Structure 1
Amino acid sequence: MIKKLAKRYIFFITALLITIMITVFNDDIGLRSFNIAFSSFKQMISVVPPIMIILGLIDVWIPREAMMKYMGDDSGIKGISLAILIGSIAAGPMYAAFPFTKVLLKKGVRFSNIIIFMNAWCVTKISTLMFEISSLGYKFTLARLLIDIPGVIIMGYLVHALMPKDELEMIYKSNLD
């Protein structure tokens, strides 16, 4: 049991030990490292619970058949549009997209649409676009979107095409819970 936990958290344990050693030799750098880690933890703890509640509701309220119809293998442009829309209206940092991705896998969403969703979360988020327009102007933002949206779609289909079929099956099976 302890070996299993140690193996699972080896990166965290190693980072913690290194930070403690740094603190022993230079308390200023060490304490700053701990403050940054604590700040990141506070941010994560404020984002993750609401995401988990929303995901729980989506998991219960939206049947697998509906997700497959609108975002599954035969969804076409409808699935692409929904993936971009959901990724664009999302809130929170990228790590909040991973639990959502797990739900999409569980619901049978086409893998290319999942990759499109994740890329859209990164580059087409509405909250980020508003800031970008105010900082860099609408011409720049529009030009970037005209490049990014096709790129997001191409990336989704490219990753899907390059994934070995057996790996895709394994990913879907491991997320059926």
Structure 2
Amino acid sequence: MKFILNRYKFFLLLSIILIIILIFNNNLGINVFNNAKSSFLQMLAVLPPIMLLLGLIDEWVSRESMMKYMGEDSSILGIILSIALAAFAAGPMYAAFPFTAVLINKGVKFSNIIIFMNSWCVIKISTLLFEISSLGYKFTLYRLLIDFVGVIAMGYLIDYIVNKMPKKKKSCKF
């Protein structure tokens, strides 16, 4: 029982807050509930196909080939594949996290994982098409060039910070 309470403590806390809001301001509470329900239903519509695709990728693509093309020795090919995988992806950002878990399990280089996640956010083709129609091709091209440089730089910077910098010794002072 304690495990269940600990695991779902944020959900339980937010449910209690929602009940309190419903008691004190019924209209606001109903709006909050409807928004939460809508987000939950949207997530349920997106996640099953993604999980199915991830299962297929996990079975069909071997760890050796992922390490060959996106692993420690992948260089520019790993960067290109990371950006391409994310650019052609569909779905919200929370859909990238299961993909990221598969990439980690397949031995993909950490900088390529960060590049993949950043690219998922800013270099999606579906978003680019909308942006071109709304803001123009010049703006989109300039933003895209800056994003390519930024995504790659951030991938290597985060990789350096996490893996290469000397670890500080942790001490607890009470």
TM-score (normalizing by structure 1): 0.92
Structure 1 position 13, deviation (Å): 0.6
Q: Distance in 1 between matches of 2:6 and 2:89?
A: 33
What residue is the counterpart of 1:26 in the other structure?
Answer: 25
Letter in 1 for 2:148: I
TM-score (normalizing by structure 2): 0.93
What residue is the counterpart of 2:65 in the other structure?
Answer: 66
Structure 1 position 70, deviation (Å): 0.3
Q: Give the number of the structure whose alpha-carbon radius of gyration is greater.
A: 2
Once the two structures are superposed, residues 91-126 of structure 1 have per-residue CA deviations (whole angstroms, 9 ceiling, x without a partner) of 000000000000000000000000000000000000
User: What CA RMSD, in Å, does the superposition of the two structures yield over aligned residues?
Assistant: 1.1
Q: Distance in 2 between matches of 1:15 and 1:88?
A: 34
State the identity as a percent: 63
Unaligned 5+ residue runs, structure 2? 165-174
Report 1:103-122 matches (<5 A).
Answer: 103-122=102-121
Structure 1 position 4, deviation (Å): 0.8
Secondary structure of 1:163's aligned partner: helix
Structure 1 position 155, deviation (Å): 0.5
Structure 1 position 5, deviation (Å): 1.1
Once the two structures are superposed, residues 76-100 of structure 1 have per-residue CA deviations (whole angstroms, 9 ceiling, x without a partner) of 0000000000010000000000000
Aligned length: 165
Q: Distance in 1 between matches of 2:15 and 2:43?
A: 18
Q: Distance in 2 between matches of 1:5 and 1:150?
A: 44
What residue is the counterpart of 2:123 in the other structure?
Answer: 124
Unaligned 5+ residue runs, structure 1? 166-177
